[in-house]
């Protein structure tokens, strides 16, 4: 799990999983290129380039990746974590604006990030990309149908790009968390959060952002040199039945 001399780019780095992941990779010695909509919650310090960036804007993503390469010389690992969920509700009652926002951030934003990261990594002959999808990207998600649709698309992109980018030395995988105790979970479930926790099977609790960060360390490490095109589910056993 050693990343000294490596540069790791993380979008959505001010969020629960993003913030824990940034801390974990910094502890492992990596240089960091961190982005979110604002700089307010991004860490700063030696070996860290923090930038305000909007993944829905291709020019903003290009500027962020270009600045990272200029500062550190390469982008070795990209973790595409920026995303939104919205409140739980019936698809038939969904506000049209929320649908378009989900597509813009979770899917078009992923497209922008991937295009720019691939352009940066291909000339290097190596790179590792990890897309943050969701359990809702591999199973049905009643009440979160639109969110699930975007995350299924992320998994599809991951599997397709793993084969396209193999000759360039770039591996692409996805992490699919279930219910993780972060502010996004509050946004999704609101007052029903406690009820949801009591209904979880197997482990019987929410996952933590630190557990997701630990998984991402391994997924991006040299210890995981053969995995490619996989959607790795971390759900405490929810999908086991």
pLDDT of 170 reads 98
pTM: 0.94
Q: Is residue 109 part of a domain?
A: yes
Number of residues in the chain: 241
Q: Is residue 2 part of a domain?
A: no
Catalytic residue, chosen from 25, 147, 179, 206, is 147
pLDDT of 158 reads 98
pLDDT of 201 reads 59
Sign of the C-alpha dihedral computed for residues 211, 214, 219 and 223 taken in this order = negative
* Residues with pLDDT less than 50, the chain: 198
pLDDT of 41 reads 86
111 part of the active site: no
Q: Is residue 209 part of a domain?
A: yes
pLDDT of 184 reads 75
Q: Are 79 and 33 in contact (CB under 8 A)?
A: no
Number of structural domains found in the chain: 1
CATH number assigned to the domain comprising residue 139: 3.40.50.720
Q: Is residue 183 part of a domain?
A: yes
pLDDT of 195 reads 56
Q: Is residue 1 part of a domain?
A: no
Residue 183's domain comprises: 7-235
pLDDT of 192 reads 61
Q: Is residue 20 part of a domain?
A: yes
Q: Is residue 241 part of a domain?
A: no
């Amino acid at each position: 799990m050693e990343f000294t001399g490596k540069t790791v780019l993380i979008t959505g780095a001010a969020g629960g999983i993003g913030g824990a992941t940034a801390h974990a990779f910094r502890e492992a010695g990596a240089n960091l290129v961190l982005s979110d909509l604002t700089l307010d919650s991004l860490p700063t310090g030696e070996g860290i380039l923090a930038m305000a960036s909007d993944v829905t804007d291709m020019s903003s993503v290009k500027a962020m990746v270009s600045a990272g390469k200029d500062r550190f010389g390469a982008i070795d690992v990209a973790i595409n974590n920026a995303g939104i969920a919205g409140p739980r509700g019936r698809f038939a009652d969904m506000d049209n604006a929320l649908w378009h926002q989900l597509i813009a951030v979770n899917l078009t934003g992923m497209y922008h990030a991937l295009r720019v990261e691939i352009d940066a990594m291909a000339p290097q002959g190596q790179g590792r990309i990890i897309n943050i999808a969701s359990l809702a990207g591999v199973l049905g998600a009643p009440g979160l149908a639109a969110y699930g649709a975007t995350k299924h698309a992320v998994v599809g992109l991951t599997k397709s790009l793993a084969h396209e980018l193999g000759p360039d030395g770039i591996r692409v995988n996805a992490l699919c968390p279930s219910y993780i105790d972060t502010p996004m979970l509050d946004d999704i479930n609101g007052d029903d959060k406690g009820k949801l926790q009591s209904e979880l099977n197997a482990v019987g609790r929410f996952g933590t952002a630190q557990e997701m960060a630990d998984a991402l360390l391994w997924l991006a490490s040299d210890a995981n040199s053969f995995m490619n095109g996989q959607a790795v589910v971390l759900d405490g056993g929810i999908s086991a039945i």
